[in-house]
Amino acid sequence: MNPNRTQCPERLAIDRRQFVKSALAGAVSLALSPGAQSRNPRGTSARPLSIPTAAAAVGYNTLTFNSTTLSTNGGPWYTQKGAAYPAQNADGSITCDVTSPANATLVSVNIQGGGVPWSGIAFGGGALFRAVFSFTGQADISDYRSGHPVFWCVDIEHASQGPYLSSWPVPPNTPAWNASTAYIYGDFVYNVANGKFYVCTVPNTNVQPPGPAVSKTTVVSASQSGTTFNTAAQAWLPGTVVYMTGTGGGQPGGFFFNVDYFVLATGLTSTTCQLAATPGGPAIAATTSVNVVLNTGTGAWCPVPVGGAGPQGFNNFFEIDMPEYDAGEYYTQNGVGNWFGNSSYDPGISSTYNHYNIKGGPGAGGVAIPGTPDLSQLHTYDCLWVPATPTSRGYINFYFDGVLTGQTIDPNGNLNTNTWAQWQTGQTPPPVWNASAMAGMDFRHMYLILGGGPHYPTTYHSIQVWQADAAHNVTGQLTKMAIPRPSPPAATHGSAYSYQLPTPTGGTGIGQSWEILYQSGNNYSISPSGFLTSTPGTAGTDTVICQCVDNNLYTAVATLSIVVH
C-alpha cells in the first residue's frame, strides 16, 4: 500500500510494498462445533455450518456474511471502479485473475466516483474474518504489480470520506493557538483568526496556523556511529519528521523507504541527529549511509476539519492484511497498520504512516505457514479481531488451517505483541505500538477486499464473517448529520446557566454524544445528551464549539455565542 495515495477506492490497488507491516499472529484451534445455518454461495439451498472455535471462544456465534456471489449475479461483491469482473464459476466460487486492480479486484462495498454515497456492507464491533481459497502461479513474487493472492480490509469511513469523524479526533477543550507556546508534533490548537482546528506536524513557536510550507531538503548521511547520524550542516529541530529516499520495499541502513521518522532531542547538534519511529524514541541504530529527507509541503500545521466537513486533514485509518501472499514461497504477510499523518486530500500535504515491527520471515510482515502445503488446494485463512474494553485489551490473531502462524498474540498486553488499550478521549498522535495504535479501529467499520492476478489466479470458495451480532455493521451511507440552528439565551454572571442543545437530525440517530471542542471566556460543561451548564464569573461574550457524534461516527458541530450580562 502506498502511503502517499489519495484514498478513493479505485486507487487502493497501487503498490502496497511501501506499507511497513507487522507480522502478527495468534492461535485458536479451528476445530468446528455444531452451529449456524446458512445458504450456499449461490444462495440456492440451505446447508449446516459450524461455528469456528476461535469465534465461539469470544462469543462470535452469528454468521453475518457468507457469500462469493458477484453483484452481477445478485450478490454482495463489487469490482473497483472501471475494473472488469472476474469469473463467477459454476460452483459459486470466484476466480480473481484480472490485471487491474489485481490487489483489490473485489470489494464488499460499492464506492464509485468521489467515494460517496456508497452501498454494501462494512463490519464493526469485532469479527472473525474467514477466507477459503486456492491459487496457482510462480513460487517467487517478483512482479508485485501483477497481483497476488490477497484478502484484506480497510475502514469505510476513510475510504469513502463521507460525513464521518474519520480524521484523528480533535481533543475536547482544545486550546487557542498562542504565539509564545512551543508546539511539538501532535499538539492540537484552535485558530481564532479563521475558526479552524489544526494539529502540529513540524515543531514551532510563533508560527500561526496553517503556517508556511516546508521546503524539501536532502541531507546525505556520510557515516553513522551507533544511533547517531553525521549529517551536513542542518538546522534540525526535535520532532522534525524525516524520511528515507528510495523505491521498493528495501531497508536502507536498517530503515524503510518513505516511512516517516522523528528527530530526537538527544544527540542533536548542527551536524548530528538521532531518529526514532515515534517522537519520544527509542533511537534506531543505522547500519549504512542513507539519504535523510525533510518532508515537503506539510507546513508547520495540518488542518483538521470537524463536523463531517471532509475531506479530512489528518489521517487516522486502519488496515488488516489477512493474508497476502507477497512475502515469499510458503510465507504469508499478516499485516496490521494504523496509518496516520497529513492527508493527501489537501493540496501540498503529503501522507505519512506508522512504522511497525517485523517478526519472522523474509520481506515486510513475512510469516511462515506450516510445512510445505500444496497451495493449489483449498486452505483456510482466519483473522480474529477482538475490540478492547475498559477491563481488557484489544487484539488481532491470525491462523492458517488451524495452526498458529508467526508470533503468539498475548491479549494480556505483553510487550512486542499486537494488543491495544481502549481508545481514550483526548489521545494525540502518533499512535503508540502496544498502547494506542489500532485502538481507533474498534469504532470503525471494516470492508473486505479480495484480489489475485494474471500470474496468480486465485479462486475464493468461501468468505465468511462471524460476529456477536450484526448491530455494529453498516450497509450504506445515511443522511449527513445536521444540528438545527441553536439559540442559547443570555446568561447572568454569578448565576447558574443551562441550555439544552437541539437534537441533531440525520446520521443514525442512535448513541448521540456531545463534547466541547473549544471554549473561550467562562468555563462550560456539557453532558453526553447535550445539556450545557455553567456559572459564569465574568460578563462578556463567550464562544463554545460543541460536537455531536453518533454510534456510527456521523458528526456535526454547533458554535454557540453566549452573551453574559
Phi, psi of 204 (to 5 degrees): -160, 160
In the chain, where the domains are located: 9-165+319-476, 180-303, 497-564
Q: Say how many CA atoms lie within 13 Å of 143 toward its Cβ.
A: 12
Please give the CATH number for the structural domain made up of 9-165+319-476: 2.60.120
Question: Could you give the CA distance from residue 313 to residue 168 in angstroms, rounded to a whole number?
Answer: 9
H/E run at residue 320? strand 314-324
pLDDT of residue 51: 92
pLDDT in tens, 417-426: 568 899 988 8
Phi, psi of 501 (to 5 degrees): -70, 150
Q: Bigger pLDDT: 9 or 287? A: 287
Take residue 223 and report the three cell numbers written for it: 557515516
pLDDT of residue 339: 81
Q: Which residues contact 44 (CB under 8 A, 6 or more apart)?
A: none
- Tell me the pLDDT band of 364, cut-offs 50, 70 and 90: very low
Q: Which residues contact 414 (CB under 8 A, 6 or more apart)?
A: none
pLDDT of residue 24: 25
pLDDT of residue 310: 62
pLDDT in tens, 226-246: 677 666 666 667 777 666 655
Take residue 237 and report the three cell numbers written for it: 529541530
pTM of the model: 0.82
DSSP secondary structure of 498-544: EEEPPPPBSS--SS-EEEEEEEESS--EE-TT-EEEE---S-EEEEE
Amino acid at 231: T
pLDDT in tens, 153-184: 999 988 887 788 888 899 999 999 999 999 98
Indicate if the pLDDT at residue 25 is higher than 60. Answer: no
pLDDT in tens, 459-493: 999 999 999 999 999 998 888 899 999 999 999 99
Question: Could you give the CA distance from residue 322 to residue 150 in angstroms, rounded to a whole number?
Answer: 8
Question: Could you give the CA distance from residue 557 to residue 485 in angstroms, rounded to a whole number?
Answer: 11
Would strands 394-400 and 403-404 be described as parallel, antiparallel, or unpaired?
Answer: antiparallel
pLDDT in tens, 271-329: 777 887 777 777 877 666 555 655 444 467 888 888 876 666 788 888 888 888 766 67
Q: Which CATH class is domain 497-564?
A: mainly beta
- Tell me the pLDDT band of 497, cut-offs 50, 70 and 90: very high
Indicate if the pLDDT at residue 34 is higher than 50. Answer: no
Take residue 320 and report the three cell numbers written for it: 488488516
